[in-house]
Structure formats: C-alpha cells, structure tokens
Amino acid sequence: MTATRIAVRGADPYEVVIGAGVLGELPGLLGGKVRTVAVVHDESLPEIAGPVVKALEESGHAVHALPVPAGEAAKEVGVLAGLWSRFARIGITRSDAVVGVGGGATTDLAGFAAASWLRGVKAVLVPTTLLGMVDAAVGGKTGINIAEGKNLVGAFHPPAGVLCDLTTLMTMPHEDYISGLAEIVKAGFIADPRILDLVEDDPAGAASPAGPHTRELVERAVRVKADVVSADLRESGLREILNYGHTLGHAIEKAEDYRFRHGHAVAIGMVYAAELGRLAGRLSADLVERHRTVLTSVGLPTAYAADAWPVLRDGMRVDKKARGATLRFVVLDGLARPARLEGPDEDLLAAAYREIAQ
C-alpha cells in the first residue's frame, strides 16, 4: 500500500508521511543539501534507530547517533545541554539537520534542540509511538519540562517532515499504545466524530496496532491536527482546541512527577472538561456519558483520586492557556464544537472534579 501524505500548511509547509515500511522516504524529507545528520534517539530503541542510521548513511549522509534517556527523562535541561555539546563536537551547521527517533518525549526534545541550536536548524521527526504520531511530532511545538511544569520551556519550530512508519507500533507496550488512543479520541470529540464511530464499532480493534482501522484512525487524527496547526501555528486562538482535556491532564502528570502516562491523564482531563461543560449548561449529559463509554471501552481511565483536588487545582495555575490569573478551559458546546470557558467559578471547578473523583 502506498504512503499517505498529509500536508501541513503555513509559512514553513511540510508533509506527514504515513504508511508501513516507509523508512525510504526519510532522505527525501531532509532534502538534497543536508550532509551531516544528528540522529537523536530513545536509547531503548536501537532496533529502530539502527535502520534509520543505515538509511541515511546509504543515502550519503554523515550520521551521528545520539542516544538519550527513554520517556520523559529525556525532556530535562541537562539532557538538552548535553545535546548542544555533542552538536558542537560533531560540527552541526545551519545546513545540517537533526532527526528525532522515538516517542513524543524524544521528538519534543529533538525538535527543541534543533530549534535552539544556531537559532534553528532543520529537523525531521520519526515518531515511533501512537502518541508521537498523532500528537507530539505534528505541529512544530517543541519543549522540555522543568520542576514547575510540563513543556513550559520550548519553541515553535515546524519540522521539515514527519515520517510515521506504522510497523513500529507493533513493538509498543500495550499500555503505551492505549495511552496514545486518548489523543485520537480527543480528535474525534473536537473535530471528527467518525473517529468515535470507528472506536465504538470495534473497541478491541482500536486498542490494538493490528486492528483493522489503525491506519485510518492515525490518518484522521493527523488530519485534524494538521488542519488546526495550518491555520494557527503559534496557539494564538484556534490551536488551543487541541488542548481539550490537557488542563487537568497536565496537572495530574505534574502531581505524579510525570510517571503517569500522558494519554491516561488526558483521558481523565477530557471527562473533567466534559463535566465542567455540562455544569456550565453547555454540554448534554448524554455526550458526557459518551466520553466515559468510549474511553473506558479501550481501557483508558476516567476518574482520579478524590483527595487530590487541592494539589491539582494548584497545578493548573501554570497552565499555558491561562492569561494572568484567569484560568481558561477548552470545553465543548456540542460534538465537534469546541469552545472556551474563561474564569470559571471555583465552586464550579470543584463540583466538576467531584464528578470524576473516585
């Protein structure tokens, strides 16, 4: 089957290439002028990073493999500084490139390293997880974490291309794959209800990379994100809808010291946002319940600890959508009708949390 190419438009347009066994597309995404390539890869993925390095070497590039810690441990200032030093030693210039290979944390780090080195060099991202393919690698948002919050330090740096080889999904741990489904379900609620139909028709298939609709689910979710970021790269308005479920979700991740899977946290955050919308008179109870049934059907959580509210409320104060002291939520006014709720009353916030407390 041929590769699918989804265009991300804007001042720096690029393509997301999706298919099985599409690694041969990588040199073309880099372009003909790049000579030296730093392959920043998750150290736990040598079986994937190796073929990437080989493909680039066979196309005439000087390649340097730079392993980084797995998962969120990669998104630390010390790891970033280490990459800068290695870029200097191997001589990465403005005509060279960085290729990021791994999950969302790795591509976030690689993208920010590229954005900040020499004020910006070319980056191509090769996400190897479901979450990376449908969310982190598409859209040009890069960043690292600090103790005070997730992704608070970063830059908008569109890649030169994104390569999603669906065969890499077959090697993912099951719970990590399920985590990535949260972002796909999110795309269904905010923009493409057909995604929800596909999941509801075959939850077991949706929960497996070998399912009959895996490619369609990935492509639909990528199209949703591509359409949004094409219209709003720098999150000045429309792009905020992609943060549906993330305000509480990021607070959960922070409270769990980033040991809680991103998609699991976002799933809980989506149900919270739905309850918030219902209590504000903007969303039907039936659609709130659909959140719970769809997410539960694929094994995602929809509730969190009852006594955690004070910590989570404090964690939301540094949410990126906040403006000064005003907290802003993405909510739904109906299926595929995302909107904003600004400065909700504290009692309303607490009441919505009670609906998801366990």
Beta carbons within 10 angstroms of residue 22's beta carbon: 18
3-state secondary structure of 164: strand
Q: What are phi and psi of 357, to 5 degrees?
A: -75, 145
What residues are designated binding site for NAD(+)? 104-108, 128-129, 141, 150, 168-171
Q: How far apart are CA 167 and CA 26, in angstroms?
A: 15
User: Tokens for 353?
Assistant: 């949390």
User: Tokens for 63?
Assistant: 């390649």
Residues designated catalytic? 119, 141, 183, 225, 235, 239, 243, 246, 250, 262
Name the amino acid, one letter, at 320. Answer: K
Q: What are phi and psi of 329, to 5 degrees?
A: -115, 145
What residues are designated binding site for Zn(2+)? 183, 246, 262
Q: How far apart are CA 177 and CA 206, in angstroms?
A: 10
Residue written as tokens 């994937």?
Answer: 48
Cβ atoms of residues 110 and 82 within 8 Å: no
Residue 62: its H or E element: strand 62-68
Q: How far apart are CA 273 and CA 297, in angstroms?
A: 19
- What radius of gyration, in Å, describes the C-alpha atoms of the chain? 20
Residue 298: its H or E element: none
Q: How far apart are CA 12 and CA 31, in angstroms?
A: 14
3-class secondary structure for 232-243? CCCCCCHHHHHH
